[in-house]
Structures are given as C-alpha cells and as structure tokens.
Amino acid sequence: MTKLPTPIRPLLALAALAAVALPASGCGTSTADVARGRVLFVQKCGVCHELAEAGTTATIGPNLDKAFGAAREAGEGGETIEGVVEAQVESPRPSNGNPAVSMPAHVVEGQELDDVAAYVGMYAGVPGAAPAKVPGAAGAQIFAGNGCGGCHALAAAKAGGTTGPNLDEVLPGQSMAMVEKSIVDPNATIAKGYPANVMPATFGETLSAKEIEQLVEYLIAETGGAKGAKGKKAKGG
C-alpha cells in the first residue's frame, strides 16, 4: 500500500475521529464561553491551524475546516466535534519535534479548553463561516478578527477586555513605531500592573506586514496617537 504523505495523515485521523460520537467527553458544557474560546483559539491555536471563522491561515497543523468538514456533511453536530477537540488536546500524540504530526501538550487546559473546544465545535467545517464584519477601516476588521477586543478595551471597537491594558488610555501620543513594537514584541516594555507574556508574541508571524500596518494605523487614528510622537514608551501586555 502506498504510504500517505506525513501532512495528510493527521487530517485523515482527525476526520475519522470526528465521525465518532464521544458521549463521555464532557462536551456541550453550558459553562463554556464561545467568545472567549475564539480569542484563545486565535492566540494559542491559530499559529498552527487554519480555521475560516477565526481568520487564521497557518499551515503547520491540520486545517480544521477540512478535518471536520466530512463530519459536518455526515450530520455530526458540534458536540461531537467539541469532544474530539478536547480529547486531542488532552492526549496529543507524543511530541517528535514535528508540529505537523504532534501537538504540544497543555496548549489549553481546564476552562480554557472547554471554551476553545466549544468554539471549534460551533464553527469548524461550517460552510461559509468567516469572521464577523465590523465597520471602520481595514484595521478595525483585523482588530476584531484576531480577538484583540477579548483582552483590550477600545471604545471605537466597542471592546471591553480587561486582560491587557485599556488602549484608549495607553496609546494616546504614541508613534506608529511604538504601537507596532507593542504588537510584534509585547514583552519589550511591560505595562504597569500587567505581568509578562500576557499578550502572545506571535502576531508578527500570524499577521502580514500590511495587516500590521493597517492595524497600527487604525489604533493610532482611534486613540489619538501620532506618527511623530516621541518620548513615550510603548506599552506591552
């Protein structure tokens, strides 16, 4: 029998698992926060997986829409997919140094896992799924699509996150270079009252240079920053 290429095998394995109900997995919990699950997925899973609704396009790991699409077509519901996600995250293949066939352990745990699994269960493989459209410049869509509002408050985006700094308070007067630095290297300067590593340091990889530029322009325009502003340190977090 012809041996399947390595990147294809995990896709087939996930698709096969998705076709099997897992009633004992604890899926379908009413305490899951799907909105928070989306933020966590973008931050912690989107660096490896493509998922249309999350707006992520990484190709390191399986495309989750493709992996679970067959299960959707076969009539499997979100709870089945949710259970598969929980099982895969809780018991990933032993790491062999190749992220295409092995997922790191403890990517998300506890309530975070419940939230992420519920989110993926709701949207993976759903035809036509895409990030919700929001009004405003191109950067507004990038801000919303990447879950920034789940951690930061920004009045223009009607976002009220409290995990990271309030952008209306910390960005006024900052230059474009400062704001960009806080996005691509958030630990360079830590905002007072916030620990290191609160904000993912992967946006420089998951966003294109153009997307980062558009996001920075949006934030500058909405918070009163200025291209020539000097002397104020960028705020990470």
Q: Are strands 56-57 and 153-154 parallel, antiparallel or unpaired?
A: unpaired
The CATH number for 49's domain is 1.10.760.10
Domain boundary among 123, 146, 178: 123
Q: Are residues 71 and 98 in the same domain?
A: yes
Q: Which residues, including other chains, have CB under 8 Å from residue 96's CB and lie 6 or more apart?
A: 102
Q: What is the 3-state secondary structure (H, E, C) of the chain?
A: CCCCCCCHHHHHHHHHHHCCCCCCCCCCCCCCCHHHHHHHHHHHHCCCCEEHHHCEECCCCCCHHHHHHHHHHCCCCHHHHHHHHHHHHHCCCCCCCCCCCCCCCCCCCHHHHHHHHHHHHHHCCCCCCCCCCCCCCHHHHHHHHCCHHHCCEEHHHCEECCCCCCHHHHCCCCCHHHHHHHHHCCCCCECCCCCCCCCCCCHHHHCCHHHHHHHHHHHHHHHCCCCCCCCCCCCEC
Residues 58 and 87 in one domain: yes
Q: Please give the residue range of the domain that contains residue 103.
A: 8-123
Q: For residues 72 and 99, state if they share a domain.
A: yes
**Cα Rg of the chain, angstroms:** 19
Q: Which of 88, 79, 87 is nearest to 122 (CA)?
A: 79
pLDDT exceeds cutoff 70 at 222: yes
Contacts of 217 (CB under 8 A, 6+ apart): 137, 139, 176
Model pLDDT, residue 195: 85
Domain assignment of residue 147, yes or no = yes
pLDDT tens by residue, 73-112: 888 888 999 999 999 999 887 666 665 567 888 889 999 9
Q: Does a structural domain hold residue 199?
A: yes
Of 89, 123, 157, the one marking the end of a domain is: 123
Is position 228 within any domain?
Answer: no
Residue 62 lies in a domain: yes
Q: Which amino acid is at 63?
A: N
Interval 148-203: pLDDT, tens = 887 889 999 988 888 889 999 999 989 999 999 999 999 998 888 888 888 888 88
Number of structural domains, the chain? 2
pLDDT band at residue 115 under the 50/70/90 scheme: very high
103 belongs to a structural domain: yes
Q: Are residues 94 and 29 in the same domain?
A: yes
101 falls within a domain: yes
pLDDT surpasses 60 at 16: no
* 155-164, 209-218, 221-230: segment of lowest average pLDDT: 221-230
Task: State whether 49 and 110 are in the same domain.
Answer: yes
Q: Same domain, yes or no, for 86 and 174?
A: no
Residues 186 and 219 in one domain: yes
pLDDT for 205 equals 84
Whether residues 45 and 144 fall in one domain:
no
